[in-house]
Amino acid sequence: MSSNYYRRGRNPTTAFGILFIIIGGVALARQLFIWSPDFVFEFLFNAEINSEKISIITICVGIFIVVLGFRKNEQTR
């Protein structure tokens, strides 16, 4: 194998990012299922901090962690 080969499948950072995205998505989907979408969107755009906004923040953090996991790591030998 060449020294330029980078195995993305063994990257724990990407796995943690996907875990954050799944957790945020499940929490947001649960709220949409329990309450109506109009009710949830009302909570998304008001001034208070609530679970819908925390779910959106969790998804954004997960996307950021996945992007960090996909950057190219140069390994010195």
pLDDT in tens, 16-73: 999 999 999 999 899 888 888 888 888 888 888 888 889 999 999 999 999 988 876 6
> Is there a domain that residue 5 lies in?
no
CA distance 3 to 34: 51
Boundaries of domain holding 51: 11-70
> Is there a domain that residue 76 lies in?
no
> Is there a domain that residue 37 lies in?
yes
Within a 13 Å sphere around the CA of 20, how many CA atoms are in the beta-carbon half?
19
Are 23 and 43 contacting, i.e. CB atoms less than 8 angstroms apart?
no
> Is there a domain that residue 6 lies in?
no
Residue 32 φ then ψ, to 5°: -65, -30
- H helices of the chain, where? 12-34, 37-44, 51-70
pLDDT at 10: 64
Looking at the structure of the chain, the number of domains it has is 1
> Is there a domain that residue 3 lies in?
no
Length of the chain: 77
